[in-house]
Amino acid sequence: MSESRSAEPRIAVEDRLFSLVLALLATESGLVKSEILRTVRGYAERYDERGRNESLERQFERDKDDLRELGIPLETVEAPDRPGDNQALRYRIPKRLYDLPESLTFTPEEFALLGLAAEVWREASLSADSQRALTKLRSLGVEPREPVIGYAPRLRVREASFEPLRQALDRRQAVRFDYLKPGEAQPRRRTVEPHALVLHEGRWHLHGLDREAKAPRTFLLSRIVDAVHPVPGQAAGFDAPPAGVERRVIDELEEIRLGNVAELEVEAGSDAAVRLGKRAGADAGADAISLHYTDEAILADELAGFGPEVRVVSPASLRDAVVERLRAVATAADGGGV
């Protein structure tokens, strides 16, 4: 590679897709692959006039799939004099099919807010879906990075497992990790086909097919206790997850939450009364709170942290879990532990 070529700035994937969309919208007759690779930003910087462009062609094939997943009507037109010749295929995006329906309109403020929502996921947390959403907005005439309220919020995740799981999800690649379930002394190795990453009650969950159990399972990311490793070789791939899996998983978690109710007695005016009483879904009284929850172990950890400010009335299993944690703290204190 020449020095000038290696010095070319790297083009972000969303910028390359944006340039590709504009190029294919601007032509009525379409562009052949060689014209696209030679002229469109994101390809042209690395195009080799001597014809060694296999990696660029593979990238273009992936980008075509991305555009179609985004819902962009990418058409191919065969050359009449060269039927069946893929090198002579012309690609185009019919503007009449790409424009928003006349019945659907957005104000400039609404477009800007859509862009801001897409920008919430930044840096390593920017998923493929968010990148594609940005491309769609920009090709409709929206510049998502234009500030709306003076700043763009950023969402980050604390679990180190999030980013490798997101990448595996985008690549449809199975992974292995050690997972520690509540009540177990040692973690167990899991091999999982990741189907969805969902946020529920402020915590990230992975849903996928557990290959050992041969059944779908949902894992709390905070219980993954080591690095996430991709499964190597042909065993890594798997079929696409069912449509709407994210919504179904969230609905299932919410059903679990609504089905679990903790009856608590709290010290009036205490930190426990204030914090637990403000939680969404909690019915706060002077000294009693009914609280819905999804994960008993997580709630037990939280309630134990309030010490004598809170007492669990029911269920008995939650009360026992809190007592067990308080006894462990007392034992550690008696033994000189921290």
With cut-offs at 50, 70 and 90, classify the pLDDT of residue 94. confident
**Beta bridge partner(s), residue 215:** 210
Kindly report, residue by residue over 13-72, the tens digit of the pLDDT.
777 888 888 888 878 888 899 899 988 888 888 888 887 888 889 899 988 888 887 778
> Cα–Cα distance between 102 and 221 in angstroms, integer?
43
Kindly report, residue by residue over 298-308, the tens digit of the pLDDT.
999 999 988 88
Q: Tokens 């919208």 appear where? A: 25
HEC readout, the chain: CCHHHHCCCCCCHHHHHHHHHHHHHCCCCCEEHHHHHHHCCCCHHHCCCCCCCHHHHHHHHHHHHHHHHCCCCCEEECCCCCCCCHHHCEEECCHHHHCCCCCCCCCHHHHHHHHHHHHCECHHHCCHHHHHHHHHHHHCCCCCCCCCCCCCCCECCCCCCHHHHHHHHHHCECEEEEECCCCCCCCEEEEEEEEEEEEECCEEEEEEEECCCCEEEEEEHHHECCCCEECCHHHHECCCCCCCHHHHHHHHHHHHHHHCEEEEEECCCCHHHHHHHHCCCCEECCCEEEEECCCHHHHHHHHHCCHHHEEEEECHHHHHHHHHHHHHHHHHHHCCCC
pLDDT above 90 for 313: yes
Kindly report, residue by residue over 314-335, the tens digit of the pLDDT.
999 999 999 999 998 888 776 6
More confident residue, 260 or 49: 260
Q: Supply the pLDDT for residue 52.
A: 83
Q: Please give the share of the chain, as a percent, with pLDDT higher than 90.
A: 27
Q: Supply the pLDDT for residue 251.
A: 92
Q: Supply the pLDDT for residue 206.
A: 94
Q: Please give the share of the chain, as a percent, with pLDDT higher than 70.
A: 75
With cut-offs at 50, 70 and 90, classify the pLDDT of residue 142. very low
Q: What integer best gives the mean pLDDT of the chain?
A: 79
Taking domain 3-98, whether its CATH number is 1.10.10 is answered by yes
> Cα–Cα distance between 9 and 15 in angstroms, integer?
12
* Among 30-44, 159-173, 191-205, 275-289, the least confident range: 275-289
pLDDT above 60 for 237: yes
Read off the pLDDT of each residue in 69-95 and give the average, rounded to a whole number: 81
